[in-house]
Amino acid sequence: MVDSFLSRVWYRAIRCRFGLEGVGVERSLDLPLSREEIALVMLALAEGRPFTPVQIQKALFLAADKVADAFLPESHYDFQPYDYGPFDRDVYVDLENLEGIGCVKINRQSRLRTYSATQDGLDEGRRSARQLSANQLAILERIVNLVRSLSFNELVSAIYKAYPPMRARSAFKD
């Protein structure tokens, strides 16, 4: 999946270099994206502000639930109940891969990592966002604003209230 994503990034870079950006398929709407592209869209919607691990996990969980049609059929996360609700290790794998190509900054300076888009990530996330319908994009924007506005306790509690099965392995006491 990362290979196809990297191919698309390279393809877009070539098209941009030769003045072809915005011509053809890239400007179509309502095209499904890879989960890496959705992650970049979510990070870009935060305008470079960082996500904590619980915020990015819950944001992508909600995106997978609320706009499943935005994801390519073979490019979905498999969230499972974990200590603080829905969790998929592949979220971190994807973010590390995106860091490797310069689109994501992972701050490892403190005990709690944070994830944000680099300038290249913002640009690529915005380009990918243009592939989505206005409705899909509006939902993703609401998700980003919601998860970033809630405290850790509020966010985990809200997820458990809306998705009780995700509480199955919880270490969280509310």
Distance CA 76, CA 81 (A): 16
Distance CA 44, CA 118 (A): 9
Residue 163 pLDDT > 90: yes
Span 113-150, pLDDT tens digits: 999 999 999 999 999 999 999 999 999 999 999 999 99
- Give the closest residue to 113 by CA, choosing from 53, 153, 46: 53
Q: Report the pLDDT value the prediction gives residue 151, as an integer from 0 to 100.
A: 96
> For the chain, which residues make up each domain, given as ranges?
29-157
- In this prediction, residue 105 has a pLDDT band, given cuts at 50, 70 and 90, of very high
Two structure tokens written together for 46: 């935060």
Residue 10 pLDDT > 90: no
Q: Report the pLDDT value the prediction gives residue 168, as an integer from 0 to 100.
A: 86
Question: Higher confidence at residue 45 or residue 173?
Answer: 45
Q: 170 — alpha (psi -120 to 50), left (phi > 0) or beta?
A: beta
Distance CA 112, CA 115 (A): 10
Q: Label the pairing between strands 85-87 and 104-107.
A: unpaired
Residue 9 pLDDT > 70: no
Q: For the residues 3-12, what does the mean pLDDT come to? A: 53
Host H or E run for residue 105: strand 104-107
**What is the CATH T-level fold of the domain 29-157, as seen in this structure?**
Arc Repressor Mutant, subunit A (1.10.10)
